[in-house]
Structures are given as C-alpha cells and as structure tokens.
C-alpha cells in the first residue's frame, strides 16, 4: 500500500475515534431526550467535567485506570444531583425551559472550572501502557486511540444489553414510548428519569476523560463539541439510539476526511452535511416524523 493510501486509512481510523466520542455524547443526549424530552445543553459541560475529574483523580491516585473508572461515576452522581435539584421543578413546563436552564448551567460550570483549575488548559497524558503506536501491518496507529474505540464499543454493548435484557431497561424503553401507561402500572418514573439522567451524564463524563489525552483538557472543551453532538442527534434522529451511533460515526468520518482533503472546510462540512440530510430526510436518518416536537 502506498503512503497516501495508508494515510487515508489512518484518517478513517481517526474518524472512527472521533465518531466514538460523538456517539457516547449523542447516545446520552438522545436517551435523556427520548425519556423526558429534556435537551441537555449542559451535556458538553459534563463532558468537560469528566476530563477535569479524571485529571483530579489521576493526580490523587496516580493511576489512569482509577481515574477512568471513577471520573464518569462522579459525573453521573453530579448529573443525578442536577436532575433532582434543577431540572425536576421544570417537568410539566415548556420543553424550552430545561434547555434554557441547562444553557445557563453550562455557563456557570465553565466559569467554576476556570476558577478552580485556571484558564490555561491542562496536560493530560495517556497512561504508559497505552503510549506509542501499534503496527497494524499496513500502518502505525496510536495505541491509545485503538483503546478509545475498544472502550466505546464495550460500553455501547453494555448499554444495549442493559436496555434490552434487564427489567430496568424495559421500563426505560416503555417510559419513552408511553410514560402515562407506565405510571398507570404503578412504576415510579421519577426515579427512572434520575437514573437515566445519571447514565447520560456518566457517558458524557466517560467521553470527556477519554478525549482528554487526545484533544486536550480546557474549560471550553465542551462548548464546541455540544454543538457537533446536537448535529449528530439531528442527523441520526432524536430519541433513536441506533441513529445516534450511525450518525456519530458518519460525522466523525466527515470531520476526519475533510480534515485530510481540505482542512479549512472541516468545521463547515459538518453543517453542510446536516443541511443536506435535512433536505432529504427532515426527521433524521432513523427518526420518526413528529416525535416529541
């Protein structure tokens, strides 16, 4: 294989890594939206918190693995607290209100992180075991990025099993179809909502700590990625997990390949791609028309 072709393949892999990060964020957004019609603008800030909590835990324990295990958990708990205190009073009001509230919250979180950890970004290295590159036969690829792809796949399979094979998963799926009927069966949906918000937050936190060593850790890191995640969700179809996965990978590849061929257009292509999808399929690739509008 000649050099440019293997560079292209490497770029496709890079797109897959970026796509994995998008998928983790979009799945959480979509899950939260599907169940409680809340668009979580603060999702990017939770992603950012994941990276900062990870950095904090890494400094405390000296182990990347401890940080990787506990940072998403901390973000998940934080998400539960946010749902309980700030979002819960807004149920029953216009669906715009949680969006506005989480928008304000994200501004607060960015400023708080700046106060605590400073304005300058942090250096967050991948652990030694995952440093360096691996020879895939036709190209070299950073081990850490392969690890990110692997973690994403494992987490998504776990999430799928949880939703499809457990009783709680069944209630979650039922709750997003027909909350009234689920309530009528005597199930406390409030607790389920809190749980799902926590899971979504934890997934965002996981995406943050995974992205930290690749994309840098800084207070505004969640700001641009939340907009791209919104695009993923719009393209995939809101509330559809499969849509979030397919669209996340597609957008990851769009960014990565445009960066390869025309770096200046990379950010623009994402939105052009979205506009094109909207013209052809207004409800997204896997979305149902009219769902929760």
Partner 1 sequence: MIRRLLSPVAGFVAARPVLCFLAVFAVFPFLVPYKALATQVLIFGLFALGFNLLYGYTGLLSFGHAAYYGLGAYGTGIALAKLKVGTLWGGLGAGLGTAALGGAVIGFFCLRRRGIYFAMLTLAFAQLLYFIGFHAADWTGGDDGLRGIPRLPLSLGGLAVTLDTPLAFYYFCYVLVGLAVAALKRILDSPFGAVLQAIRENPGRAVACGYDIDRVKWLSFVFSAIFTGLAGSLDALRLSVVPIESLYWTTSGQVVIMTLLGGAGTFFGPFVGAATFLVLEDRLSLFTESWPLFVGAIFVSFVLFLPRGIWGTLAAKLR
Name the residues that contact partner 1, by CB under 8 A: 33, 37, 39, 86, 89-90, 93, 95-97, 99-101, 103-105, 107-108, 110-112, 114-115, 223, 227, 230-231, 233-234, 238, 264, 267-268, 271-272, 274-275, 278-279, 282-283, 292-293
Residue 133 phi, psi (nearest 5): -125, 155
Cβ closest to partner 1, residue 93 vs residue 140: 93
C-alpha distances out from residue 173 to 12, 167, 192, Å: 33, 10, 11
Cβ closest to partner 1, residue 34 vs residue 50: 34
What is the smallest separation between the CB atom of 50 and partner 1, expressed in angstroms? 20
Residue (of 20, 215, 17) closest to 122 by Cα position: 215
What is the smallest separation between the CB atom of 287 and partner 1, expressed in angstroms? 9
What is the smallest separation between the CB atom of 130 and partner 1, expressed in angstroms? 32
Residue (of 52, 61, 30) closest to 116 by Cα position: 52
Tokens of 121: 């970004």
Cβ closest to partner 1, residue 116 vs residue 153: 116
What is the smallest separation between the CB atom of 161 and partner 1, expressed in angstroms? 29
Residue written as token pair 């990025």:
145
C-alpha distances out from residue 226 to 24, 43, 84, 232, Å: 12, 7, 22, 10
Cα torsion for 97, 182, 46, 233, to the nearest 10°?
A: -80
What is the smallest separation between the CB atom of 28 and partner 1, expressed in angstroms? 15
Quick check: 251 and 270 in contact, CB under 8 A? yes
Quick check: 8 and 139 in contact, CB under 8 A? no
Report the C-alpha gap between 62 and 4 in whole angstroms.
39
135: left (phi over 0), alpha (psi -120 to 50) or beta: beta
Alpha helices in 37-135 (DSSP H): 43-61, 64-82, 96-117
Cβ closest to partner 1, residue 97 vs residue 253: 97
Cβ closest to partner 1, residue 9 vs residue 257: 257
DSSP assignment of 123-140: --PPPGGG-SEEE-SS-E
Cβ closest to partner 1, residue 4 vs residue 85: 85
Cβ closest to partner 1, residue 21 vs residue 209: 21
């Amino acid at each position: 294989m000649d050099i440019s072709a293997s560079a292209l393949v490497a770029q496709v892999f890079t797109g897959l890594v970026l796509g994995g990060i998008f998928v983790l964020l979009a799945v959480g957004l979509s899950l939260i939206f599907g169940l409680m019609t809340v668009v979580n603008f603060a999702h990017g800030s939770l992603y950012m918190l994941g990276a900062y909590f990870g950095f904090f835990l890494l400094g405390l324990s000296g182990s990347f693995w401890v940080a990787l295990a506990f940072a998403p958990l901390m973000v998940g708990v934080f998400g539960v607290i946010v749902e309980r205190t700030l979002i819960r009073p807004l149920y029953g009001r216009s669906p715009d209100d949680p969006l506005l509230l989480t928008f304000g919250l994200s501004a607060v979180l960015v400023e708080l992180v700046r106060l605590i950890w400073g304005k300058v970004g942090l250096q967050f290295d991948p652990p030694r075991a995952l440093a360096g590159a691996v020879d895939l036969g036709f190209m070299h690829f950073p081990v850490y990025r392969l690890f990110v792809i692997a973690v994403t796949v494992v987490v998504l399979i776990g999430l799928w099993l949880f939703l499809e094979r457990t009783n709680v998963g069944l209630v979650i799926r039922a709750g997003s179809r027909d909350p009234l009927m689920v309530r009528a069966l005597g199930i406390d949906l409030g607790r389920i909502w809190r749980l799902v918000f926590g899971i979504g937050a934890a997934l965002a936190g996981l995406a943050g700590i995974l992205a930290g060593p690749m994309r840098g850790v800084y207070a505004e890191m969640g700001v641009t990625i939340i907009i791209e995640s919104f695009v993923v969700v719009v393209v995939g179809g809101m509330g559809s997990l499969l849509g979030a996965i397919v669209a996340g990978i597609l957008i990851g590849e769009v960014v990565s390949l445009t960066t390869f061929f025309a770096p200046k257009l990379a950010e623009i292509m994402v939105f052009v791609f979205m506009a094109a999808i909207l013209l052809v399929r207004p409800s997204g690739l896997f979305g149902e028309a009219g769902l929760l509008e």
